[in-house]
Chains A and B, each alone.
Chain A
Amino acid sequence: MKPCAFEYLSPQSVEEALELLDRYGDQAKILAGGQSLVPMMNFRLARPEILIDINGIKELEYIKTEDDELVIGALTRERDIEQSPLVVEKWPILSKAISFIGHSTIRNRGTIGGSLVHADPSAEIPTALCALNGKVKVVGPSGDKILEPEEFFLTYLTTSLEPSDLLVQVRIPALPQKTGWSFTELSRRSGDFAIVAVGILLFTETAGVCREARISMGGVAPTPVRAEEAEALLAGQKITEKLIAEAAQQAAEETDTEPDYHASAEYRMEMARVFVKRGLQEAWNMVNGGQ
């Protein structure tokens, strides 16, 4: 199908985009990479009266560090982040997570900001952001805001962004030197949406002991979720296979799954257990290998 008619605006700066958002707010949709919005427009599930195309705002496309934090502009293409030597070296979990998004042709257009504001609960970037304790920077009429994932993701496809707000930046803290990580997901076919996606980070200081664990799960709740009780089971503990199995079971119990077209609630929960277990093993072997 073809999209409904719309008015097309193409601001060249953040300031100009904010003015347009302030004027049109609810009537307008922002077009970034368009890999979710344009299919919805083609199906006429989305019928914005006004489309604000931000692809001309070059100031929103960058990957850099500031005080050891990774700072990425909202319009940065997923493929650029996936292939960035800086990201691959220092935040490899993010590059790996992105490699699961659709196909290379989707990642060539799709943007980090677009994926976050779309807020699909099974999407990879939101799941990775939660594991990494990342934050998003939002600008709008009420000034700048820096939001944590739990403040930003409200429920299925819904964020706390106001109609006149623009997500402009993603900030991700540095990872400690001794970090084990894993990003795995289950999907029926290459490039499909994840039935379950799991991002794991394990930090250690003393051999054999996990200082801090982070378990982020996508596709198993209305937003990506951290398995906080499972993380608590691992923190400060000597890691054994038995403990990993217990933590994976606990993580599965912290899901809030619903059945849908792709999988039953029970299946998702069980797969969360399996993938958390595998992810913990992989991450632990990475950081504790040979010790």
Chain B
Amino acid sequence: MTDSRRIMVKVNGVDYERWVEPRRLLVDFLRADLELIGTHIGCEHGICGSCTVLFNGRAVRSCLMFAVQADGADILTVEGLADAAQLHPLQEAFREKHGLQCGFCTPGMLMTAYEFLNENPDPSETEVRKNMSGVLCRCTGYKQVVDSVMEAAQQMRHK
């Protein structure tokens, strides 16, 4: 057992101070220590993308980082997307276009698409497919996921 470390981290705009063991994965910290269970654990080795969160503005796999590395970081999880009762346009689009069935991969899909549309607000379908290929979905066959991201892009451009 190694000594715990104190970390200060901002998640969805809220400051937290916690003690963590160095081997604590960031995804386990979010889920178990902060009880933010919207971020899902799929493969635990960086393949499936379900655990994707925004880390200092960049989409990363939270199963491939340690919580100690988040000291001082600003994190956005799926819980931080909606503005109170108002869903984020991405969430609206996933609902509208049936971008999810079981919903397990959806947090990863949303956070990956969130960064992507920030960088590329008017993407082609090919670009969407390439970027979203890092998140695995076993239900939808991806068609509706791509439709959802395209729809969200359009809605966000017209805001």
Chain A interface residues (CB < 8 Å from chain B): 1-8, 10, 34-35, 38-39, 42-43, 51, 53, 55, 79, 102-106, 108-109, 189-191
- B23 near A3: Cβ-Cβ < 8 Å: yes
A102 CA / B45 CA spacing, docked (Å): 13
Q: Least Cβ distance of B149 to chain A in Å?
A: 13
Given known A34-B65, A190-B130, contact A108–B60 (CB-CB < 8 A)? yes
A-B contact number at CB 8 A: 84
Q: How many residues of B contact A (CB 8 A)?
A: 31
* Residue from B22, B58, B133 within 8 A of A6 (CB atoms): B22
Q: Which residues of chain B are near A6, meaning CB under 8 Å?
A: 2, 22-23
Nearest 9 A-B pairs (CB), nearest first? A103-B134, A8-B22, A39-B45, A190-B133, A108-B58, A38-B64, A3-B23, A105-B59, A5-B2
CB proximity of B115 to chain A, nearest CB, Å: 7
A residues less than 8 Å from B110 (CB atoms): none
User: Which of chain B's residues 22-70 have a Cβ closer than 8 Å to chain A?
Assistant: 22-23, 25, 28, 44-46, 49, 52, 55, 58-61, 63-66, 68-69
Nearest CB of chain B from residue A2's CB, rounded to whole Å:
7
Are the C-beta atoms of B115 and A38 separated by less than 8 Å? no
Given contacts A38-B64, A190-B133, contact A103 B49 (CB under 8 A): yes
Decide yes or no whether B112 CB sits under 8 A from chain A.
Answer: yes
Residues of A within 8 A of B14 (CB): none
Residue B85 lies at the interface, judged by CB distance under 8 Å to chain A: no
- Across the interface, B64 reaches (CB within 8 A) one of A7, A55, A104, A109, namely A109
